Copies of this chain bind each other. A is one copy, B any other.
Amino acid sequence: MPTNVVSTSGRNPLAQKVKLSTIAEALGLSTATVSLALRDSPLVAEATRERIKEEARASGYIYNRRAASLRTSKSGIIGVCVHDMMNPFYGEILTAIERELDRQQHTFILCNHYDQLAKQRAFIDTMLQLGADGMIMSPAIGTPAADIRLAEENDLPVTLVARTVDGVEVPGFHGDDRRGMRLAVEHLIEKGHRRIAMVGGDDLTSTAREREAGYLAALEAADIEFKPEWRLKGARNRHGGFEAAPRLVALSPLPTAVVCYSDLVALGLMYGLSRAGLTPGEDIAVVGYDDIEEAEIATPSLTTVANGQSEVGRLAARSLLARLQGEDIPLGTQLITPTLRIRSSSEYRPFTLQRTEAASRHA
């Protein structure tokens, strides 16, 4: 298989002469075994694969995946595209995806689309051009169904995480955002809160719309009349939460509790509330969403909704790999059930209207 050998280097002339047969002879193995091992085939025992790769590395042999993929049309590459991998919410999904793909010897190629459709399209194009096996995406805001279909119709199967796209029938995994936010608001109502604000998120993502719907549903179920000024939209990261604090504090009467679009928004809001002289958890209750690692060590520790990021990542990767192996995979969205994690930031209990009325009756 001389096409496997790339003449890559003018500086290392020896490398050009190394062939599969050279490695095979050195190790006393068949050329076929060496070839399979260098393509990470499970047909070759892992210890043998490692030995072959060591020998290949030592001898300067470079396996040319480009040439190989033209023959087999399997590159071993999975493209993964999210809004922003520096956001720990996505980071935790990515870590879980990576762990699954590593186990199955797939290469993981990452991209931030920053909610820019052009950037997402360029990445899909690159994946098509490299002959990637599949993609896992948290689609950019406003992704048209046609962009997903373009990939699917060109043998680049897509799995969605965290967000959905209307009009496409592909596997998708995300937390049940409506239910999760409802749990958060119900927890506050049980502690006696009646003036509950919601900070962050906007109407652009399915995630934010679902979380807002859960917030409104919980208020309605408890016969609490929603006040439009309680809904402070926009913030989507720590900085946005910080900047929302003065707007929240300016409300009169001040809400006694606030649920946030995400943990990052809540953590930024808590920084901002502290600057305004309020102690979160003592003067006002704050609840986040996602249960990122920092929620537990924040001071005060953050009450939040565990949204199953690791499960989302794991299930998405497994589903895609199963589909690539020809298994029948359910299309459509699978919701992960969220769980409330109660910590110190929601310890504050307000004087409720009922108690105040009772007190005035006794007076």
Report A's interface with B, CB cutoff 8 A: 6, 8-12, 15, 57, 60, 62-67, 69-70, 75, 85-86, 88, 91, 95, 98, 107-112, 121, 125-126, 128-131, 150, 152-155, 238-239, 242, 268, 270-272, 274-275, 293-294, 297-299
Residues of B within 8 A of A297 (CB): 238-239, 242, 268, 271-272
Could you list 27 A-B pairs, sorted by A, with CB under 8 Å?
A: A9-B155, A10-B155, A11-B152, A11-B153, A11-B155, A12-B153, A15-B154, A60-B153, A63-B125, A65-B129, A66-B66, A66-B69, A66-B70, A66-B130, A85-B85, A85-B91, A86-B86, A86-B88, A98-B112, A107-B126, A110-B110, A238-B293, A242-B297, A268-B297, A271-B298, A272-B297, A272-B299
Which DSSP category, helix, strand, loop or mixed, fits chain A's interface? Answer: helix
Complex Cα distance, B63 from A255, in Å, reads 56
Complex Cα distance, B130 from A133, in Å, reads 14
Let me know if B155 and A8 touch, CB within 8 A.
Answer: yes
Complex Cα distance, B70 from A108, in Å, reads 22
Let me know if A130 and B65 touch, CB within 8 A.
Answer: yes
Complex Cα distance, B180 from A270, in Å, reads 30
Given contacts A8-B154, A63-B125, A98-B112, 9 further A-B contacts (CB under 8 A): A8-B155, A11-B152, A60-B154, A62-B128, A62-B154, A66-B131, A108-B111, A274-B299, A275-B299
Residues of B within 8 A of A272 (CB): 297, 299
Closest B residue by C-beta to A69: B66
Closest B residue by C-beta to A273: B299
Complex Cα distance, B108 from A152, in Å, reads 23
Give chain B nearest CB distance to A240 CB in angstroms: 10
